[in-house]
Amino acid sequence: MAIYGLLIVLVVPLCLTVIYHFLLLRRSSFSQEGMADVIFKNATFYTGDPRRPWVDAIAVQKGRILELGALDVVEKKIGPHTCYEDLNGGFIVPGFVESHAHVISGGLQMLQVNFQDVSTQNEFIEKVKIAAREKQSGQWLLGGGWNNERWGGELPRASWIDVYTQDIPVWIYRMDGHMGLANSKALQILGIIGNISDPEGGKLVRSKDGGLTGILIDSAMKLVADYIPEPTIKERRDALVRASKLALSNGITTVVDFGRFFPGSPTTDVWDDFHNVYKWMDKKGSLPLRFSIFFPLETWSDVYTQIRLTGQRLSQNLKIGGLKAFADGSLGSGTAFFNEPYADDPSNYGLEILNTESVMNDVLQADKMGLQIAIHAIGDGANDRILALYQSINKSNGQRDRRLRIEHAQHLSQNALDIFSSEQIIASMQPEHLLDDANFASKKLGEERASRISYLFKSLLMKNVTLAFGSDWPVAHLNPLKGIIAATERRPPGSSLPWIPSECIEVHDALRGYTLAAAYAAFLENEIGSLTQGKFADFAVLSEDIFHAHAEVSVLATYKGGIKVFSKETTDFVL
For the chain, percent of residues with pLDDT exceeding 70? 93
Mean pLDDT of 430-443: 94
486 occurs within a structural domain: no
* Inter-CA distances, 352 with 176, 348, 472, Å: 17, 11, 20
73 occurs within a structural domain: yes
3-state secondary structure of 201: coil
Tell me which of 28 and 547 has the higher pLDDT.
Answer: 547
Q: Do 139 and 90 fall within a single domain?
A: no
Nearest to 481 by CA among 444, 523, 514: 514
Nearest to 277 by CA among 290, 286, 265, 268: 286
Residues in contact with 195: Cβ distance below 8 Å, sequence separation at least 6, in sequence order: none
11 occurs within a structural domain: yes
Q: Do 63 and 81 fall within a single domain?
A: yes
Mean pLDDT of 156-169: 96
* pLDDT beyond 80 at 14: no
| pLDDT the model gives residue 201 | 82
Q: Do 136 and 216 fall within a single domain?
A: yes
* pLDDT beyond 60 at 516: yes
* pLDDT beyond 50 at 28: no
Q: What is the pTM of this model?
A: 0.90
| pLDDT the model gives residue 425 | 98
Mean pLDDT of 30-34: 62
- 210 confidence band (pLDDT: 50, 70, 90): confident
Which stretch, 173-182, 273-282, 438-447, has highest mean pLDDT? 273-282
Mean pLDDT of 201-227: 89
Q: Do 112 and 205 fall within a single domain?
A: yes
| pLDDT the model gives residue 549 | 82
443 occurs within a structural domain: no
Tell me which of 406 and 30 has the higher pLDDT.
Answer: 406
Q: Do 114 and 179 fall within a single domain?
A: yes
Q: Do 111 and 84 fall within a single domain?
A: no
| pLDDT the model gives residue 489 | 97
Contact 176, 144 (CB under 8 A): no
Residues in contact with 292: Cβ distance below 8 Å, sequence separation at least 6, in sequence order: 254, 255, 256, 257, 319, 320, 321, 522, 524
9 occurs within a structural domain: yes
pLDDT digits (tens, 9 = 90+) for 449-476: 999 999 999 999 999 999 999 999 999 9
| pLDDT the model gives residue 29 | 43
* pLDDT beyond 90 at 326: yes
Q: Do 76 and 114 fall within a single domain?
A: no
* pLDDT beyond 90 at 27: no
| pLDDT the model gives residue 9 | 47
- 225 confidence band (pLDDT: 50, 70, 90): confident
Q: Do 219 and 132 fall within a single domain?
A: yes
Q: Do 91 and 108 fall within a single domain?
A: no
- 121 confidence band (pLDDT: 50, 70, 90): very high
pLDDT digits (tens, 9 = 90+) for 552-573: 899 999 999 999 999 998 876 7
Query: Beta partners for 427?
Result: 406, 467
60 occurs within a structural domain: yes
Tell me which of 18 and 497 has the higher pLDDT.
Answer: 497
173 occurs within a structural domain: yes
Mean pLDDT of 32-47: 94
- Domain-terminating residue out of 196, 225, 254: 225
In CATH, what number is assigned to the domain containing residue 57?
2.30.40.10
* pLDDT beyond 80 at 8: no
Q: Do 126 and 213 fall within a single domain?
A: yes
- 187 confidence band (pLDDT: 50, 70, 90): very high
* pLDDT beyond 90 at 81: yes
| Neighbour-count burial for 196-226, b at 16+ CB within 10 Å, e otherwise | eeebebbbbbeeeeeebbbbbbbbbbbbbbe
Contact 125, 161 (CB under 8 A): yes
308 occurs within a structural domain: no
- 24 confidence band (pLDDT: 50, 70, 90): very low
72-81, 200-209, 432-441: which has the minimum mean pLDDT? Answer: 200-209
Q: Do 173 and 89 fall within a single domain?
A: no
| pLDDT the model gives residue 509 | 99
- Domain-terminating residue out of 201, 225, 249: 225
Mean pLDDT of 266-285: 96
Tell me which of 176 and 241 has the higher pLDDT.
Answer: 241
| pLDDT the model gives residue 266 | 85
13-22, 361-370, 442-451: which has the minimum mean pLDDT? Answer: 13-22
- 26 confidence band (pLDDT: 50, 70, 90): very low
Number of domains in the chain: 2
* pLDDT beyond 70 at 152: yes
- 5 confidence band (pLDDT: 50, 70, 90): low
- 3-state per-residue secondary structure call for 274-333: HHHHHHHHHHCCCCCCEEEEEEEHHHHHHHHHHHHHHCCECCCCEEEEEEEEECCCCCCC
| pLDDT the model gives residue 18 | 46
* Domain residue limits at 200: 104-225
pLDDT digits (tens, 9 = 90+) for 350-366: 998 877 676 888 999 99
Q: Do 156 and 82 fall within a single domain?
A: no
In CATH, what number is assigned to the domain containing residue 146?
3.10.310.70
- Domain-terminating residue out of 225, 243, 276: 225
